[in-house]
Chains A and B, each alone.
Chain A
Amino acid sequence: DGGITQSPKYLFRKEGQNVTLSCEQNLNHDAMYWYRQDPGQGLRLIYYSQIVNDFQKGDIAEGYSVSREKKESFPLTVTSAQKNPTAFYLCASTLRGQNTEAFFGQGTRLTVV
């Protein structure tokens, strides 16, 4: 079955550490996205990528980095520069074109300890 997989489901980070969240899709989608969700709030775009080896900052990119070396993979690194990283992170992918819906992973909950 095709889908989009995020791992791990839960992640704990110590202060000052970098951590990487994995996002893999086997849907042959062109575009991939990372969103952050805080309690009681909507989704805020961190980074997105339309094609391999290209990505753009979203609304809250500071303290995060990404890569898109393969079409299937779009990992997100939460760096120590991100001062408040505790949140729920969602990855999504979509084909390019009108009326093409996005598919979402099940999310990674990151907690700073």
Chain B
Amino acid sequence: AQSVTQLDSHVSVSEGTPVLLRCNYSSSYSPSLFWYVQHPNKGLQLLLKYTSAATLVKGINGFEAEFKKSETSFHLTKPSAHMSDAAEYFCVVSDWVSSYKLIFGSGTRLLVRP
């Protein structure tokens, strides 16, 4: 069975400091993993996806995520937070083998202090 757990419901950082948003997954087979961002009252935008070609995945807006199979983690990072990064972030695993359901984490709200 597929599942995903986002370990923090809220993360608060100062502008210019690093961001770490944590995600652990469970998958019966090779996982299909994604990070999405949602600004208020908007749809979701893809930040990055894991494709098994590389364990360190680079996304848009300076975000990266590292796939660690031994830890079943796919944490999202950014070296320096910007005020515009304040949003809700979702870690997603896809059940691409059978149902094609998208399984969402509960989300992490990122607050950026000036």
A and B: interacting chains: yes
Which residues of A are at the interface with B, using a C-beta cutoff of 8 A? Answer: 6, 30-31, 33, 35, 41-43, 45, 48, 50, 56, 58, 88, 90, 92, 94, 96-107, 109
B:72-114 near A, CB below 8 Å: 90, 92, 94, 96, 99-102, 104-107
Q: A99: which of B50, B90, B104 is its contact (CB, 8 Å)? A: B50
The residue from A31, A101, A105, A106 contacting B100, defined by CB atoms under 8 A apart: A31
With known contacts A42-B106, A90-B43, A104-B44, A50–B100 Cβ distance under 8 A: yes
* Residue in A closest to B34 when the chains form the complex, CB atoms: A101
- Across the interface, do A107 and B34 meet the contact criterion of CB distance under 8 Å? no
B26 within 8 A of A: no
- Interfacial chain B residues near A100, Cβ < 8 Å: 32, 94, 96
On whether the beta carbons of B49 and A106 are closer than 8 Å, the reply is no
Is B101 a contact of A45 with CB atoms below 8 Å?
yes
The 3 closest A-B pairs by CB, nearest first: A104-B43, A104-B44, A42-B106
Chain A residues with Cβ under 8 A from B30's Cβ?
A: 98
Chain B residues closer than 8 Å to A104, beta-carbon distance: 36, 43-45
- Asked if residues B46 and A96 are in contact (CB atoms below 8 Å), the reply is no
Given contacts A99-B50, A101-B49, A106-B43, contact A42 B107 (CB under 8 A): yes
Contact in complex: A99, B101 (CB < 8 Å): no
Which B residues touch A99, using CB under 8 A? Answer: 32, 49-52, 96
Could you tell me the distance in whole angstroms from the C-beta of B21 to the nearest C-beta in chain A? 14
State how many angstroms separate the Cβ of A103 from the closest Cβ of chain B: 8
Asked whether B102 lies within 8 Å of A107 as measured between CB atoms, the reply is no
* Residue B41 interfacial (CB < 8 Å): yes
Residues in A whose Cβ lies below 8 Å from that of B101: 33, 45, 48, 58
Known contacts A99-B50, A101-B46, A102-B102, A107 near B41 by CB under 8 Å: yes
Residue of B nearest to A31 (CB): B100
A32 to B19, CA, bound (A): 32
In B25-45, which residues have CB < 8 Å from any A CB? Answer: 30, 32, 34, 36, 41-45
Bound CA–CA A11/B14 (angstroms): 37
- Smallest beta-carbon distance A29→chain B, Å: 10
Query: Which residues of A lie under 8 Å from residue B49 when comparing CB positions?
Result: 99, 101
